[in-house]
Structure 1
C-alpha cells in the first residue's frame, strides 16, 4: 500500500465519520469522494456501508430517548424503506447508477441553494403519515439503487417542526438499518473479501473517532442551527455527487 493510498483511505474515513456524527447521514457522500479514487466502486461501497452503520450506532445512542418517545414516527419511514431496498437493487440492474446520482445530486444542489437563499425555512405542519411512508419507501429504493437512503428523508426533516433530536431520531436509525440491510445483501454476494476487511480494519478507528468529534459539535447546535446545517450539507453533498460523477 502506498502512502497516497493510506492518506486517502484515512482522510475519507475521517470526513465520512465526522459528517455522520454531526448530521446523522452523509458518510457515503463524503467518504466515497476519496475512496473511489483508490479502489473499485463495489469495494468502496462495501467499506462505506460498514463505516456508516458502525459510526451511525454512536449517533443513534445519543438520541435514544427521542426514538423511544415516538417510535411510530420512525416506523412510518423505516418499514416502507425496507420494502424499497430490494426494489432499488432490482432497478440497479436496469439503470445506470451514475446517471441516478447525477439526478439526485442536481436536486440536492437546487434544494440547498433555494433554502439557503430564503430568510427562514418553511415548516410543514400536521401528521403527514402517507407522505412520510412514501418518502421512506423512496429512500429505501434510492438506498438500494445508489446508496442514497438518507437524501429524501433529510430533505423532509428540514421542513418539519421537529427539534434537532427528533430529526436525528428519524434520520440516524433510518440510515443505520437501511444500510445494514444493504451490507447484508452485499455480504451474501461475497463483497467482503480478505482485502476489503483489511481496509475496514484500517479505516474504522479513524471513522469512529471522527464521529465522536461530530457528535460533540452536534450537541452544541441549537435546533435552528441544526436545521440550517442539514440544508447546507445537502448543498455540499449535491456538489460532491455532481463533481464526483462529472470529473
Structure 2
C-alpha cells in the first residue's frame, strides 16, 4: 500500500468515523470521496458500510438507555425500512440512480439551507405514527436504491421536539440495521476480497477512534444545538452529494 493510498484511506476514515460518532449518520457522504480516489466504487462502499456499522454500534451503546424507553417509536421506522430495502434494490433496473441522488441532494440543500437561516426550529411534539412509518419505508427504499437511507429520517427527526438521546435512539439503530443488511448483501456478492480486507484493516481502527472523539463532542451538545447540527449536516451532505454527482 502506497503512502498516497494510506493518506486518503486514513483521512476518509477519520472524517466518516467522526461524523458518525457526532451525528449518528453521514459516514458515506463524508468518506466516500476520499476512498473513491484510491479504489473502485464497490470496494469503497463495502468498506464504508462496515465502518458505519461498527462506529454505529459505539453510538448505540451511548444511547442504550433511550433505546428501551420507546421501542415502538423505533419499530415504526425500522420495520417499514426493512420492507423497503429489497424494493429499493429491485428498483435499480427501472430508475435512474443519478437522477434520484440529485433529487435527494436538492431536498437536503433546500431543507438544510432554509432551517439553518431560521432563528426558531419547528417542534412537532404530537405522535405521528403514519409519517414515521412512511419516512422509515422511504428511507429503506432509498437505502436499497442509492445508499441514502439516512437522508429522510434525519430531516424528519430534526423537526421533532425530542431530546438528543431520543433522536439518536431512532437514527443510530435505523442506519446500523440498514447498513448491516447492505454489508451482508455485499459479502454474499464477493465484495470482501483480499485488497478490500487490507484497506479495511487500516480504515476500521481509524474510524473507531474518530467515532469516539465524535461521541465525546456529542455528549457536550445541548438538545437544541444537536438539532441544529443535524440540519447543518443535512445541508453539507446535500452539497457534497450534489457536487459528487455533477463532477
Normalising by structure 1, report the TM-score: 0.98
What number of residue pairs does the alignment pair up? 247
1:153-172 map, 5 Å: 153-172=153-172
**Stretch deviating more after TM superposition (53-62 or 86-95):** 86-95
User: Aligned equivalents of 2:6 and 2:96: distance in 1?
Assistant: 30
User: Aligned equivalents of 1:173 and 1:13: distance in 2?
Assistant: 20
Give the superposition deviation at 1:5: 1.5
User: Aligned equivalents of 1:95 and 1:43: distance in 2?
Assistant: 23
User: Aligned equivalents of 1:210 and 1:110: distance in 2?
Assistant: 29
User: Aligned equivalents of 1:147 and 1:66: distance in 2?
Assistant: 26
Residue-by-residue CA offset, 1:19-59 (whole Å, 9 max, x unaligned): 00000000011010211122111111111000100010000
User: Aligned equivalents of 2:93 and 2:9: distance in 1?
Assistant: 28
User: Aligned equivalents of 2:87 and 2:181: distance in 1?
Assistant: 13
Give the superposition deviation at 1:211: 0.1
**Stretch deviating more after TM superposition (48-57 or 88-97):** 88-97
**Stretch deviating more after TM superposition (39-48 or 90-99):** 90-99
1:118-157 map, 5 Å: 118-157=118-157
Give the superposition deviation at 1:227: 0.2
User: Aligned equivalents of 1:173 and 1:41: distance in 2?
Assistant: 25
Moved over 4 A (4+): none
Task: Name the residue aligned to 2:20.
Answer: 20
- Structure 1 residue matching 2:68: 3-state secondary structure: helix
Give the superposition deviation at 1:93: 2.7
1:139-218 map, 5 Å: 139-218=139-218
Give the superposition deviation at 1:170: 0.2
Give the superposition deviation at 1:96: 3.1
Normalising by structure 2, report the TM-score: 0.98
User: Aligned equivalents of 2:6 and 2:94: distance in 1?
Assistant: 34
Structure 2: any 5+ residue segments left out of the alignment?
none
User: Aligned equivalents of 1:103 and 1:37: distance in 2?
Assistant: 24
RMSD: 0.9
